[in-house]
Amino acid sequence: MKAPPFAYARARNLAEVFELLERHGDNAKILAGGQSLMPALNMRLSSPELLIDISRLQEHAGVQVKDGHVHIGALTTHAAIGESADLRKHLPLLADAVEHIAHPAIRNCGTFGGSLAMADPAAEWPACCVVLDAQIMLASKSGTRRVAAQDFFQGLYATALQPNEVITEVVIPIPGAGYRHAFLELARRRGDYAIVGVAAMAKISGTSISDLRLVYLGASEKPVPALETSQLFVLKGFSESALKEAQQTLAGELDPAADLYSSVATKLHLAQVLTARVMKQLAA
């Protein structure tokens, strides 16, 4: 397989990026880590006239903690997220999730912002951002706007990102005391795309559960917050009877699509299995 012909430009700053996007519009694609875009080009699933390489804009990479929030630059690699002591301290959910992303070679090149812009329904970062109430910063020639993760992901590979915008960073509030997290997914082989997965966070006090957030990946065209299922556990606590009721409720909240390896029924069953595991992990 071979990519179609395209022009290439390496941007030195965001101003150059905005100028190129304005000039070429939908015919241009942003190249960051390239771990999703290059395979798409090689399989002729995408055929832009111009690739705008932003990989050298390293001022938009890295992790910072300030004013009760964690700021993650869009060009921060998956590997750097896994290695960040600040993230392991303040947002351990991300540190746990990164181990499920593909393989080391891909984690060393792929970027946080690139994954969010791609919006693959089986990707880990979109679900994590939704469960953590992340704000995604989008920049264009006219300025910067902030979009909640819940609103950013709009469908299959569809986001709120406009053709003239780029993701610059993600801002995530640091959870308060008493919050616990869990991330689980199931795949055919380690490193494969998830069949289904769940990112979870809850405030636990003794046997009381509050502010429970269960967000599923691989279960629809975008990350799915299971609001009714979460509320059931908040009202009834975690028990075998509550779990059985929650699993039935969950089946009505998810809308997975069958693929070459898994039927809809299989994906729903696996989501129910993961729900039991993640709730036991949170309650432990």
CATH number of the structural domain spanning residue 87? 3.30.465.10
CATH number of the structural domain spanning residue 243? 3.30.390.50
Residue 2, in any domain of the structure? no
- 19 and 95 co-located in one domain: no
pLDDT tens string 12-46: 999 999 999 999 988 999 999 988 888 888 888 88
Domain limit, last residue, from 130, 146, 173: 173
**Residue 37 CB neighbours (<10 A):** 21
Token readout for 75 is 């060009």
- Residue 35: predicted pLDDT: 85
CA 235/CA 220 separation, integer angstroms: 26
Expressed as residue numbers, the domain containing 260 is: 179-283
pLDDT tens string 176-224: 999 999 999 999 998 898 999 999 999 998 888 999 999 999 999 999 9
Domain limit, last residue, from 173, 200, 221: 173
Residue 65, in any domain of the structure? yes
Whether the predicted pLDDT of 263 surpasses 80: yes
- 156 and 252 co-located in one domain: no
Strand partners, 209: 204
Please check whether residue 141 is in contact with residue 22, taking contact to mean a CB–CB distance below 8 angstroms: yes
Residue 252, in any domain of the structure? yes
Please check whether residue 140 is in contact with residue 165, taking contact to mean a CB–CB distance below 8 angstroms: yes
- 34 and 67 co-located in one domain: no
CATH number of the structural domain spanning residue 18? 3.30.43.10
Alpha helices in the chain (DSSP H): 14-24, 37-42, 78-83, 85-90, 92-97, 104-109, 112-118, 124-131, 149-152, 227-236, 240-253, 264-283
Residue 274, in any domain of the structure? yes
- 209 and 222 co-located in one domain: yes
pLDDT tens string 44-64: 888 889 999 999 999 999 999
Residue 1, in any domain of the structure? no
Q: How many domains does the chain have?
A: 3
Whether the predicted pLDDT of 1 surpasses 80: no
- Residue 206: predicted pLDDT: 85
Residue 236, in any domain of the structure? yes
Phi, psi values for residue 118, rounded to 5°: -70, -40
